[in-house]
A = this chain, B = another copy of it.
Amino acid sequence: MTLPEKQTGEIGDKERDALYRIIFSRRDVRGQFLADPIEDQVLSRILYAAHYAPSVGFMQPWNFILIRSIEIKEKIHQAFLKAHNEAAEMFSGRKKELYRRFKLEGILESPVNICVTCDTSRSGPVVIGRTHIDTMDRYSSVCAIQNLWLAARAEGLGVGWVSIIDEEKLKTILDIPADVVPVGYLCIGKVSHFWQKPELESAGWLPRLALDKLVDFERWNGQPDLEQSSILHQIKKDADFPMQIQKK
């Protein structure tokens, strides 16, 4: 039996900063799609990024359904519109007005839609790491989506995640079997530009939370002792780090 091989070489500071720049520049894109096709080489690379996500028990539960047909897109768009109208009724007053003004998807404008699924039956009923938390397989597919999203941003492509849709309707339109969950429906394409900040933040819907308020110690809501407070101090000091890196 041969021993597994170790990785050689390190990730340098410039490569590390590139990752941060991509993470902080990533946006959920809805209104800036161009109709230009995506080159096969680029689409292939971002799919490999997705496929090399972590997966529970190495089950790789994902499939990638590529949708370019206008007929299918129209059906998805109709399902979105129905859910979107239902959603609007759940808000009231100023929030309802504001909600109605948001553009929340680019299904028809983006050249490629991808439905990323999770086949819960893949590799059999017992999966290492899914024995006690049964959502772990869907979480793996989410990791694949996040990898794809970052890779797309690095390639200059926008990605928007459409979640305002009835899941059963989506399964019917795409012939998805009972054991398979459509985890994310993504719109992908070249864009006119990326916004510096998330649109919901710019519109004043919700503010960016302060990271230091979201860090707890040893337990939920646990406060830091003297020694632990140094990391909170560092986090406050780094509040401008994401914007500085993005503009680099």
A193 CB to closest chain B CB (Å) equals 4
Instruction: List which A132-191 residues lie within 8 A (CB) of chain B.
Output: 132-133, 135-136, 138-139, 142-143, 145-147, 149-151, 153-156, 161, 163-167, 173-177, 180, 183-184
Give the residue among A216, A233, A237 with the most B Cβ atoms within 10 A. Answer: A216
Instruction: List which A69-105 residues lie within 8 A (CB) of chain B.
Output: 69, 72, 83, 86-87, 90-91, 99, 102, 104
The answer for the CA separation of A241 and B18 in the assembled complex, in Å, is 19
Given A58-B206, A153-B11, A218-B65, CB of A231 within 8 Å of CB of B43: yes
The answer for the CA separation of A111 and B177 in the assembled complex, in Å, is 43
Q: With a CB–CB cut-off of 8 A, which chain B residues contact A221?
A: 175
Q: Hey, what's the 0/1 contact readout for A218-242 against B, CB within 8 Å counting as 1?
A: 1111100000101101110110011
Give the residue name and chain of the B residue nearest to A183 (CB).
Answer: B139
Q: With a CB–CB cut-off of 8 A, which chain B residues contact A57?
A: 200, 205-206
Tell whether, in the assembled complex, residue B126 and residue A91 are in contact, meaning their CB atoms are under 8 Å apart: yes
A175 CB to closest chain B CB (Å) equals 4
Tell whether, in the assembled complex, residue B53 and residue A198 are in contact, meaning their CB atoms are under 8 Å apart: no
The answer for the CA separation of A55 and B90 in the assembled complex, in Å, is 20
Q: With a CB–CB cut-off of 8 A, which chain B residues contact A23?
A: 49, 52, 147, 150-151
Tell whether, in the assembled complex, residue B147 and residue A147 are in contact, meaning their CB atoms are under 8 Å apart: no
Tell whether, in the assembled complex, residue B47 and residue A215 are in contact, meaning their CB atoms are under 8 Å apart: yes
Tell whether, in the assembled complex, residue B247 and residue A8 are in contact, meaning their CB atoms are under 8 Å apart: yes
Q: A7 touches which one: B129, B133, B195, B209 (CB < 8 A)?
A: B195
The answer for the CA separation of A230 and B201 in the assembled complex, in Å, is 40
The answer for the CA separation of A157 and B219 in the assembled complex, in Å, is 23
The answer for the CA separation of A109 and B170 in the assembled complex, in Å, is 44
Tell whether, in the assembled complex, residue A44 and residue B231 are in contact, meaning their CB atoms are under 8 Å apart: yes
Q: A44-B234, A146-B147 are in contact. List 6 more A-B contacts (CB 8 A).
A: A6-B196, A19-B22, A66-B228, A68-B218, A72-B219, A117-B220
Can you identify 25 A-B contacts, CB atoms within 8 angstroms?
A4-B195, A4-B196, A6-B194, A6-B195, A7-B195, A14-B14, A23-B52, A40-B230, A47-B211, A60-B209, A63-B216, A64-B215, A64-B216, A66-B218, A69-B218, A86-B131, A90-B126, A99-B128, A104-B128, A129-B164, A138-B139, A139-B142, A142-B142, A174-B220, A175-B219
